[in-house]
């Protein structure tokens, strides 16, 4: 099990989230702010089986809008090993 922590621009939030959910990948969205211009961001928390990580990353990449500012990032992704989780 992995936790894919993904920070994207607010403008990409709906497209990326809907594509992930459409592929059967559950997503928790959190509004966040950061970066140089303090632009609105969305942080996606995605708990996912290890063998589906590449699929999720491909979906995220394929649903981001093009970069408008040279040198800017479209998204930041962190992949974290999850030793244990439980749902109550």
Kindly report the pTM of this predicted structure.
0.87
How many other β-carbons are positioned within 10 Å of the β-carbon of residue 59? 16
* pLDDT at 35 (0 to 100): 62
* pLDDT at 3 (0 to 100): 97
The DSSP line for 19-76 is HHHHTT---EEEEEEETTTTEEEEEEEEEE-GGGHHHHHHHHHHTSPPPSSTT--SEE
* pLDDT at 33 (0 to 100): 78
Pairwise pLDDT comparison (15 vs 68), residue with the higher score: 15
pLDDT in tens, 32-78: 877 655 678 899 999 999 999 999 999 999 999 988 777 778 899 99
* pLDDT at 37 (0 to 100): 53
Q: Domains, the chain, ranges and CATH?
A: 2-81 (3.30.70.120)
């Amino acid at each position: 099990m992995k936790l894919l922590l993904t920070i994207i621009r607010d403008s990409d939030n709906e497209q990326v989230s809907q594509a992930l959910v459409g592929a059967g990948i559950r997503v928790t969205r959190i509004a966040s702010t950061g970066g140089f211009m303090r632009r609105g961001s969305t942080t996606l928390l995605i708990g996912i089986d290890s063998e589906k990580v590449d699929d999720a990353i491909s979906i995220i990449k394929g649903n981001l809008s093009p970069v408008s500012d040279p040198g800017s990032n479209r998204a930041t992704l962190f992949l974290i090993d999850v030793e244990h989780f439980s749902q109550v």
